[in-house]
Structure formats: C-alpha cells, structure tokens
Structure 1
Amino acid sequence: MRASQSAVKNGASRRTNRTKPSRGAVDQTSESCKKSKHVGQSLKKPSEKDACPSRHGKSREMTTCSRQAAPEKEAKTFNQDSRLCKQRPEEMSAAEDDNGEDLYRAAEEIELERQEKQLSNAASVFNSEDQTSVSAPEDLLSYSHREWKGNTAKSHLIRKGYEAVAQKFEALRIVRGDNYCALRAALFQLFNKSNKLSNWLQDAEIVELQCVQDLVEDWRFPFPRRDDGGAVKQLEYCLKLLKARWQEAVECQSPEERESFCQELFVGGREEYELLEALKFLMLKTVIQLHSDMKKGSSVPEFCWLLFARDTSKCPRSFLTNHLRHVGFSGGLEQ
C-alpha cells in the first residue's frame, strides 16, 4: 500500500520505473525467496511495517513471495468455509456440484450432516406452539371450489370427485404437511372419535419394550431426550403419555369438549411429537408380533407376506432400520 502511494506522488517515476517482470524473473525471485531467511522472516506478519517495503525492487520480491504463500492463505480460507458449512449448511450450497454432491468433504461427514439437518428440521416444527397441526372442520364442497377453481378438464374432474365424496362426508380437516402427517391424522381421528381405551394399550407394552431394548436403543427422536434415561426410558414416557391423553379424550362429556381438547393438544408442541413416537413404537410392536406369527405358520394378513418379502424389511429389525425410523425425518409413512 505504501509503495502504491509513493508511486501516485511521483507519477513520472511510476511511468518510467514500472516494468513488467518476465517469467524468468519471477522464477528467479521465487527461488531466492525460498533461500533467503531474511525475506521469510519479514513475511511472518504482513501487518507489520517492515513487511511492506517502499522501493520497487523489494516490492516486486515481496509480491513473488506472496504468490508462493497464497496456497497457505487459501487453505485457511477453506478451513473457515468448512467450519461455516458445518454450522450453516444451507448457506454453503455453492460448495456443491450440479448433482448436489459436496466436492470437499468425505461421504461420512456429508451423511452425518444430512441426518443432523433432518433432525433439526423435524425438531424446529414444534418450536412454534402457536400453530395448529389439524384445522377445524371445513365444508368439503367449499374446499374443492376454492382449491380447484380452474376451468381445465382436470379441475372439473377433481371437483366432480369431491362432489361424489361429499355424499357421505360433509367436511374435511387440513393436516400439517410434514413427514408426520399420516400419523398425525390417524392420532387426531383416534382421540376425536374413540369412546373407550384400547385393550392393547396396557402396561404389557412397557414390559415388551424392555424385551426389545436392543432393538430400540438407537431410536431417533425429533426432540432433545429427557435427562432420566436413554431411548427405552423415553419411549416408556411416550407410551404412558399416550395412554393418559387417550383416557382424557374418552372421558370428555360432549363433542364440543372433545374438539376443544384435541385443538389444545395438536398445536405442534413437544407433547404431540411424543405421542406420535409412541404410535411408531406400537407399529413396531405389531410388526414383531406379525413376523413371529408368520414364522410359526399362524394365519396373518396377506400384506405381511408382501412386507417381509422385501429385501429392506425381511425382519422387524430391518423394517425399523430402513423404514420406520425415517418416518417423520426424511420421509412420510406413505413413502
């Protein structure tokens, strides 16, 4: 910077003394930069005064040395970008190629970041507890005319389908469209319509949970775990909560009271997601029972033969690993 300032003050000398270094001069000064200890010491802190000589000869030499030091500066910049990418991956999408693959990090690191991002996306849903997860009933025909008000052949066909459905159903509810939506719709319908507590949600569920401890020890939760134990303890709490809330729904005295209870419960809070995780465990328990019955030769529904014929769900463990544990995170129940 000082060299450039002196050149501005003396314009004539700048025009006469400024020469374009040849390729040989650059190589020669680069070699002298490697051998000279004095120049190496002057580059320790570029902010110091002796790091910026004002004469043209020394200035050219320092420029050559800085070219050799550029990879080190680039490495520092890359390390900072790498740390930033771990902290804010959504802001570092430029580091990916056209196929969406990161060009700098290992596959294990990318997979770990993907899982953490899915976890944070799922967990961020229940941070805002002022949002309703299931809307109030809405007239079916009004909904179809609002959502499909075009004049295309497809719009006419879909409205005609809604008219046929409206002959048996008067209203619909809009369910929050995250990867828990299918489980959420089933749980809301359960609380809103059931008149008695199911006989399969008893204390025996807790006993069976202890029996499959090795199967659920890596269970994924969309919320931070409580301090009183691992995955088994967390699922025990979720099952007890499901039983308690189901009992409260059954004890409601009127449809209006039950509707109010459901609207207060389904607000995207932690409790809602704990109930949904309890449903997932009941699904796993059912899969375990059906697989055991099928191996014994007992009568099972036809879909069991199709389910356990797949390479990704030959047994309850593979079903949990490849399918069920991803529900709510990277895919919905229908996927």
Structure 2
Amino acid sequence: MLSMSFLITVFWYCRRLYSFLAQLLKRWSNYLQRKLIKNRSVLEEVDLLGYSAREWREETKQAKHMREAYNELFQNYHIKYLRQVRKDNYCVLRAVLFQIFSQGIPFPSWMRERDILKLPEKLLYSQGCNWIQQYSFGPESYTGPNAFGKLRKCMETLKTNWAEISGTKDHEERGNMCNALFSDESKEHKLYEAIKFIMLYEVVEAYEQMKNRDEPLPHLFSLLFARDTSSDPLSFMMNHLNAIGDSGCLDQVELFLLGYLLEVKIRIYRLHRFNTEGFQVNCPDEYRREWNEISLLTEDDRYYHIPVIRT
C-alpha cells in the first residue's frame, strides 16, 4: 500500500514537472519568435493598397500622387503585396540580396568560375591596390591594415550563406533560413560589405581594361568613369562606396553595376516619378534574357521596399 502511494506521488510530481517544463519551453519559444520578428530587417507581406492608405492618408498633393501611384501598381502591374525593408543606408543591398536568396538564385556565372575568397588578396597583392586599407565598413570609417582580414571574413560569410540557401530546394525551408539570416545584423552587414567590395573589384577590372583598350566595356562603366567623383577606382571607393551603410546609398549607375555583377535584372518602380518616363527603370539597362528578375519599389530613390507580384 505504501509502495502504491509512493508511486502515485512520484507520478503526480512528474506530471507537474512535465507541465512546468512544457510551459517554460513554450514561453522561451514565444520569446525567441518575438525577438526574431523584432530584429527582422525584411518584414512579412502586407496588402499594398492597405499600406498605401496608412502611409499616405493625408489630402496633400503629394499624398494623392502616391496613392495614385500605388493604385497603378495594383491595377496594371499585378503587384498586390509589399514587404517592408528596414530603412537604413544598406536598404537597397538588403532588398536585392533578400530576393536573390529567397528565390534561390544561384551564384552569377563569373562567380562560379573563380574563388571570390581570393579577390581581396588579388586586389591587394597582384594588382597593387594597397589603398584598399582606406576601405570603410559602413559606420566603421577606418580600419587600416585590418581591412584585408575583415574583407576576407565578409567574403566568407557571403559565399557560405549564398551557397547554403541557394542549395536549399524547399521554398518554406529557404524562407525560414532567410528570415534567420536577415535577423542577424552582424552577418547581414558582412554580406553587404562583401557586395560593396565585389563592386569595387569589378570597377578595378574594368578600369584596367579601359586603360589597356582590351575590349569594349558595358555602357555603365562609361557612365561611372565619366563622373568627376568616380573617374578611377580609388575615387569611386572614397566618394561613393565608403558612404554606403553609413551616410549614403547607391546612385542609379551603382544600381546598374550591382545588377551587372550579380547578373540579375533589377526592375525599379519609382513612385515619386509616377506619370513620367522614369516611373519604371531597369538596372542595368543592358541585360541578358537568361538573367533572373527581381523588383524594387521606392518612393524617394533612397529607401526601397520589395513589391510582391500576384498574377
């Protein structure tokens, strides 16, 4: 009798313990989920017209113009939803990379043919560009001799995450991986700095070809080198790239360069240019038919969101 009573007591305490642990696990899971959502830099889809009505509810001329532009996207471009992107100076890089990863777009062809981890070393030693010590990592304005090591870590982060996510065929699993990655600010920033460096590397390569007259360059490089502020790779880095992530974002010619090196056609809907020829632009304007397409939406050419098309 004593033994049975003891077993009942043990069973009762085990049930209480199990219930307590289950509640604790549920609370911890809810906490992590809330934290993940709070830290997420690309939010879930929201209704496009509902977003427009909330953001531009005044009766000013500008607000009416914006509501008309959003309605145009909904009615004639089959854009029904919107994913909001964190508004900082990495915004456009974030919107582009998120779509590349979430769609499972593979490495561009040139990146599959060479090891991108060796690009910082090649630029520094083979091409003698020791001025990359003046490279700025977003808000971190000067790193000096540490620039090479930091760049390599950024390239490793980009290569590892891109390969892992693009190799995941299940759409839902790939989406969960993207949500986790774009909730980790440290990893995110490494991705963007890697892309910035690849842009710099591509400009150095193009500049050498231009000097040696090796072969005709895409039109975007003529536009880039024609600017007084980016007439050579060093001025391009100092006056443009170093500001990205800190005090500036990408100009249109840099968006051309971004699409070119990632081998994606970036279609941009510029709502403030509604009813003009500049309402929709493609970056670059010269692209190959086999390239994947991604879309951006901007109200001011500074901050970008992700339009979601439903046919």
Structure 2 counterpart of 1:283, from 189, 195, 199: 199
Q: CA 1:217/1:152 → structure 2, altered by over 3 Å: closer, same or farther?
A: closer
Of residues 211, 226, 239, the one that matches 2:122 is 211
User: Structure 1: 5+ residue runs without aligned partners?
Assistant: 1-127
Q: CA deviation at 1:290?
A: 2.1
- Structure 2: which 5+ runs fail to align? 1-34, 125-129, 252-301, 303-311
Work out whether residues 137 and 245 of structure 2, in 8 Å CA contact, stay in contact via their aligned partners in 1. no
Give deviations 1:178-218, integer Å, cap 9, x for gaps: 11111111111111123323333355333332132213222
Paired-residue identity, %: 36
Structure-1 separation of matches of 2:100 and 2:59: 38
- Name 2:174's counterpart in structure 1: 258
> Residue 169 of structure 1 aligns to which amino acid in structure 2?
I
For residue 223 of structure 2, the aligned residue among 301, 306, 311 is 306
Residue 319 in structure 1 maps to residue 236 in structure 2: yes
Superposition deviation, residue 268 in structure 1: 4.7
What's 2:287 paired with? none
d(CA) in 2 for partners of 1:323, 1:195: 27
> Is residue 55 of structure 2 the alignment partner of residue 144 of structure 1?
no
Q: Distance in 1 between matches of 2:186 and 2:173?
A: 22
Pair 1:328-2:245 in alignment: yes
- In structure 2, C-alpha distance between the alignment counterparts of 1:168 and 1:292, rounded to whole Å: 43
- Number of residue equivalences: 205
Amino acid at match of 1:288: V
Deviation at 1:222, TM superposition (A): 4.6
Contact 1:223 1:270 in 2 (8 A): no
Normalised by the length of structure 1, the TM-score is 0.56
1:160 CA drift (Å): 1.7
Alpha-carbon distance in 2 for matches of 1:207, 1:305: 27
Distance 1:321 1:141 in 2: 40
Q: Kindly provide the CA deviation profile for residues 131-160 of structure 1, in whole angstroms up to 9, marking residues without a partner as x.
A: 211111112111111112223343333212
Q: Of the candidates 188, 194, 197, which is equivalent to residue 272 of structure 1? A: 188
Among 165, 185, 189, the alignment partner of 1:249 is: 165
Match of 1:158 among 58, 66, 81: 66
- Runs of 4+ aligned structure 1 residues displaced above 4 Å come to none
Name which of 61, 71, 78 aligns with 1:168.
Answer: 78
CA contact (8 A) 1:235 1:277 kept: yes
Shift of 1:176: 1.0
Q: Is 2:104 aligned against 1:187?
A: no
Mark the CA change 1:314 to 1:195 in structure 2 (over 3 Å): closer, same or farther: closer
Report deviation, 1:272. 0.9
Q: Measured at CA, do residues 251 and 317 of structure 1 come closer, stay the same or move farther in structure 2, by a change above 3 Å?
A: same
Would the alpha carbon gap of residues 221 and 195 (structure 1) be closer, same or farther in structure 2, given more than 3 Å must change?
A: closer
Partners of 1:201 and 1:243 within 8 A in 2:
no
Give the structure, 1 or 2, with the largest relative contact order (CA under 8 Å, sep 6 or more): 2
CA distance in 2, matches of 1:331, 1:196: 28
Q: How far 1:295 sits from its partner (Å)?
A: 2.6
Matches of 1:207 and 1:328, distance apart in 2 = 24
What TM-score do the two structures reach when normalised by structure 2?
0.60
